[in-house]
Amino acid sequence: MERTLVLVKPDGVQRGLAGEIIGRLERTGLQIIGMKLMQVSEELASEHYGEHVGKPFYLGLVSFITSSPVVALALEGPSAISTTRKIMGSTNPAGADPGTIRGDLGVDMGRNLIHGSANEQDAAREVSLFFDDSELVSYQRATQPWIVE
């Protein structure tokens, strides 16, 4: 089983799209094992976006992600990382496929609604950055055999 970190970014929360975005991910069958509304601090933002330090859009990115609350989710399931990335769509909503969150709900790169971990290493780091172990819940779903063979 794989885990991934998702953030409904400030634009998603402000636009009232958190439920829509979470619903699209939930309907895949991925299991929510952690979820919270939170204000991202400058410190957390700089750790989370460490790979982008020095890029021209970095300061704007940190300013945006700290501007208003996000909903953080930890999702678990087979191929949780790639499934989430597929449902998100490509980074720039202007070029993202119809049917994806970014393609259907966004128009601007700097307001692309959602973060999803890029790979296993990032996912492990990001899940532990946003969630304490005590905030991740292990539970059985009665529907699990109808979702995973």
Least distance in Å: CB of 111 to ligand DAT? Answer: 9
Least distance in Å: CB of 13 to ligand DAT? Answer: 15
- Provide DSSP, 23-79: HHHHTTTPEEEEEEEEPPPHHHHHHHTGGGTTSTTHHHHHHHHTSS-EEEEEEEETT
Q: How far apart are CA 111 and CA 11, in angstroms?
A: 6
Reported in sequence order, the residue ranges of the chain that DSSP labels E, i.e. its strands, are 2-8, 31-38, 70-77, 114-116
115 part of the interface to ligand DAT, by CB under 6 A: yes
4 part of the interface to ligand DAT, by CB under 6 A: no
Least distance in Å: CB of 122 to Mg ion? Answer: 7
Return the residue of 35, 44, 118, 124 that touches ligand DAT, per CB under 6 A.
Answer: 118
Quickly tell me which residue has 């330090």 as its tokens.
Answer: 53
118 part of the interface to Mg ion, by CB under 5 A: yes
x/- string (CB under 6 A) for ligand DAT, residues 21-60?
A: ------------------------------------x---
Active site residue 115: yes
Catalytic residues: 115
